[in-house]
Amino acid sequence: MSGTADLFAMERLDDDYSAERTSNKALAEMYQAVPNEIKTKIVFHAAFEQCLDNELPVNLALVCTDWFKIIQDQMQVGQPCFKAWYGAIGHEDIYETFLKGVLLYRPIPNSDEGMIKLNISDLKDTSPEGTPYKLLKKNPLEGIFDLPTCGDAGKYLVISTGYRKGINPDNKGKAEVWISPRFMIEKKIANAHHFKEIVGNWDEKVAPLGVFYTWSADTNEYFDYCTSKDLNVISKNDLYTIWGDESACRIEELCGACSAMRGRGGRTYYFTFHFEPK
């Protein structure tokens, strides 16, 4: 379909629906008479409300090419629908701080020699490029860091933003580290049941970001986490130190992350997240 009239132009062939066809044509004519600026606002507000309700507005984007373009533009990083989808509205300060954050790789621990900076803002979403009607073109809140330039760490580690949704076969045999703003976990808690028992004790004013550790083969329920330290602590300590000194494991005897971090997953000591609070 193409053009904004597509929504109203689809007619039933049965003559019993002639009145409905006439009504659709009338709606199409009325819609076409609306100024383009108003059309854009109508589509935007409908998409925005769906994002607030945790419903990605794919249904609206599929109406026609004009609507798809409007919604796709609104789902770009920093746009209102993008913020509504991830729960950033009302948390703009930490949202901006998070997007400006970097992951530092130090091949020589405690030294800046040979250091590599990986910007959170450069992360893209992980959906296949050929995905039809792709609304989230660039997604620093749910991205995966490119580690091939970071020694052999990529063989044993996957470091991502966002939260874990399930076992990913691509990560087989690796430790996984995730960092996420609390506002995002709170917004997506309906789809992230494994965080329900910790989010209540997670004080956003003290620790606006959380760091999570898991093993690729473990289910979502098994993970270590740090949700009690401020941005200064996170920025001053490598990921291994945060895990060893600051994290809390709920089921240590069964948690693959504990074994992984003591083994090759210990390469997290090469990595540090750095944030500059506003």
Predicted pLDDT of residue 126 = 53
* pLDDT for position 118: 96
The pLDDT of residue 218: 78
Helix, coil or strand: residue 194: helix
Determine the pLDDT at residue 256.
53
- Distances in Å between the Cα of 234 and the Cα atoms of 102, 124, 208, 231 are 12, 23, 11, 5
Structural tokens at position 84:
């509504």
Report helix, strand or coil for 230.
coil
What is the rounded (10 degree) CA torsion for 48, 227, 168, 274? 80
pLDDT at residue number 235 = 95
Return the structure tokens found at 76. 């770009």
If one counts every other C-beta atom within 10 angstroms of the C-beta of residue 200, the result is 8
Q: Domain ranges in the chain?
A: 6-74, 90-274
Q: pLDDT tens digits, the chain, 278 residues: what are they? A: 444 444 444 444 445 545 545 555 666 677 778 788 888 999 999 999 999 999 999 989 888 888 899 999 999 999 999 999 999 999 999 999 999 999 999 999 889 999 999 999 999 765 555 455 577 766 899 999 999 999 999 898 999 999 888 888 999 889 899 999 999 999 988 777 788 888 888 999 999 999 998 888 777 777 888 899 999 999 999 998 888 765 554 444 445 555 555 555 568 889 999 998 76
81 and 57 in contact (C-beta within 8 Å)? yes
Determine the Cα–Cα distance for residues 161 and 91; give it in Å rounded to an integer. Answer: 17
Q: What is the pLDDT of residue 129?
A: 52
Q: What is the pLDDT of residue 6?
A: 47
The amino acid occupying position 82 is F
Would you give the DSSP letter of residue 117? E
- Contact, 243 vs 212, CB < 8 A? no
**pLDDT of res. 251:** 46
d(CA 189, CA 52): 13
Segment holding 239, helix H or strand E: helix 239-241
Q: Helical H runs in 11-78?
A: 18-33, 36-52, 58-61, 65-74
